[in-house]
Structures are given as C-alpha cells and as structure tokens.
Structure 1
Amino acid sequence: MKSRADDKKTRAQAHPALDTIKSRVEERVAAAGLSKNEASRRAGLGLSYVNDLLAGKSLNPTRESLAKLGQVLDTDADYFFGTQGTPRISSHPVSNLLPIEMPQSTAGTIPLFHIGLPDPDGFFPLVAERRASWTSPLLVSRDVYAITVPDDCMAPRYRMGEVALVSPSKPVVHGGFAVVRQTDDRVAIRQIITISADKIVVRCLDTNADIDLPRKNVKALERVIASCELV
C-alpha cells in the first residue's frame, strides 16, 4: 500500500496539466476513429503509449511525444497542454504567396529556383532571374515548385545541391519539413517542431538547434513533399 509520502511524491512528479492532457488525448483519439494502440503505433511511440498515459502510468508526457501524437490526431501539441482552445490552428493561406508570378506547370515541368548563398540568418530570397523550367522525375501537381538546397543545415535529410519539391497547398504537420516563408518573402527549409498561437518552433538538423520564430513574422508554411538529385 502506498504511503501518504509516496502519494505526495507521485503528485509532484506529474505534469501540472496532466488531467487536461489525458482528457484531450482521449477526445482526439475518439474523434480520429482510432484505437489507442493504433494511434500510438502511427505516432511511432509504441503500442501502449496512449493506454499508459490514460491509465496514469505515464505522468509527465513530453512535448515531443505529444507533438508526434498530434500529427496522427490532427492536433497541435498546445491543445493537449490546454494552452490552445482549438485542436488545430491552421497556417496562413499559402495558395498565392510566392513573391513572383509562377507559371503553370505542364507535362511534369515545374519552376526550379537555383539558390545562392543564404543570408546570415539562413533565409534566402527566391529570385526571378535564377528561375528555370525543370522537368521533375516525380509526378507532381500543378502548383508544385522546386528549389535547390543551399547548404547542409538540414542534412542528412536534405543535402546541399539536391532539389526539394514544395507544395504550397498541402498541409504542414508537426515534425514534417517545410519552406518557411517570412513576411519579407525570404524562405528557408526547416523541420516544423510545433505551431502555436504566438510562435512557430523550427529545427536545423545539423545542430539539432530549435529556433522560435514569432508567428507574426511568418507569412506561410509550404510543405516539402520530396527531394531528388538534380539531373
């Protein structure tokens, strides 16, 4: 039998928002029409993650784990923690945010931007003079464009000189990769860690450094859907 001291220690170890986390995870699992085991498996958290959380066996879930679960349940991590009122805060509209007019692609031909050196903060402009028509080896939709990867800050996922294919219309998910477009229309490829009402947390893979970007400075997130060698 647990002593009063043991109970006090357990409460101290528990996340202060644990009850909210549990109720909202249960709500979103039900809304997704998934079993707890299936939601856990799809999130890459093992079969018992959600069951352990709801049963009180996991008392202090991490933001990283809940962000992975949120990808499966179409939910921002901040919703689980109770700091966000709705399951998902959509990103800014992205269908017409390219700084220059994009030609419609035909027969697999899409715009390709050859990127020079990034600015000191890692962002770079998409310059019309460095745009060319390029026949993608992959079947892509008409709104997709491509950029050459300018450096190795996203290695080993994307390496300098490869081509990243970008879809402005596909939704961006936590843990996924996107072109982050700032309000000055400079862009950078980053991993999206979390999206909240006031900031977007992104990551560079070469250093595993997370960077907070004020949401007011981000015009759009445009999903990276594939990459390939430039041939």
Structure 2
Amino acid sequence: MLKHADIWAAIDALARDNGLTASALARKAGLDPTTFNKSKRITREGKARWPSTESVAKVLEATGATMTAFVGYIEGVAGGLPVSTIPLIGFAQAGDRGFFDDAGYPAGAGWDEIPFPEVGDPHAYALEVSGDSMEPLYRDGDIVIVSPTANVRRGDRVVVRTTEGEVMVKQLVRLSARRIELASVNPAHSGRSLASEEVGWMARILWASQ
C-alpha cells in the first residue's frame, strides 16, 4: 500500500540527488519555496496530504527525471531501504544562538531535515549556502555536509565558528596549540589567523553538492 510518506520521501530523495533542499527544488521548479515544507505535508486537521500531480510534474521537468525514475524512488523508500535524515539550516542562521552546543553539535529547535546517506557521525549536519561570498567553490543554494567529530587535517575545508558567533567556511592551512591559520575559499576574500581562544569550534566539511 502506497503511503503519503513514501511520496514525500521520494521528493526529498530526488532533491538530494540533484544537490538541492526540498525548498530549493520547489524554487527550481517554479513553485512556491514552501510547497514541500513539512508543514505543507499535513492538513490543518492533522491528516496526511498528498503532493499535487502538478507539483510532481514540475519537479520532474525541472530536474530532467522521468516518471519511471520517480517511481523508482518511491519503490526504494517503500521497499524498506534506509533513508537517514540529518539536520539542516541556512548558513546565515548558523551564527545565531541556540543552534549549536559548546562542542559544535546541532542543538535546539529550528532545524530542518534532509535525507542523506549514513556518514558515520551521528552529529553530522548540513548547511545551505547563501550569497556569493564562497564562490567559486560553493555557490548559492549548495549544500555542504559537516562532521563535527571527523579529524581535521591541513588542507581540509572546514566550518569555523568564533567565540563571538561568526561562522565561516575556510581551508585549514596550519593548526598549532596557539593559532589557527585559514585560507579563504573565495580569492576575493582574505584568509584569517585566529588565536585558539577565539575559536569556539571547527568542523570538517565531508561533502558538497556541486
């Protein structure tokens, strides 16, 4: 028996495989960005809601996917294949209070979720890039997957949050007991040199949708 959740999970998986969030997929298809929000998946009475055939047709056209491929997504989900989800927020929100604990793990409310294969870190999360400050490496709408528990080495691309709440994506150049040297991923921006006590946490970027 086909379930509402199977269809929504298939849309989420289609978005993921195209390097998009559900809201970005909706925008790409010319729909309202909130069309696939979790709040739109139930009625005001709390009953499960089906996505419209029009919205499904538009996302298939926007991604170039066939109906056969979409049915494959549905069958994969309904067939019991593991569908993991990880927390997601926009990059601009990452500097706000309440989204991370002192260790740099996702915390509090306000996170969305996206489906993603198991990465071996239960604290992994996703950030959606906004603006052009990280071009050409990361562009507006790209998703980066971050692992707070992964070992960080020179040359890794990392997310760094300062004790003042500034969040940045850089490349690790040098790490010592006293300082962290970072190179910018955008040639138009300068690197940073931070004293260790200025850094709240640093986490390695495992993957990016590009």
Larger radius of gyration: 1
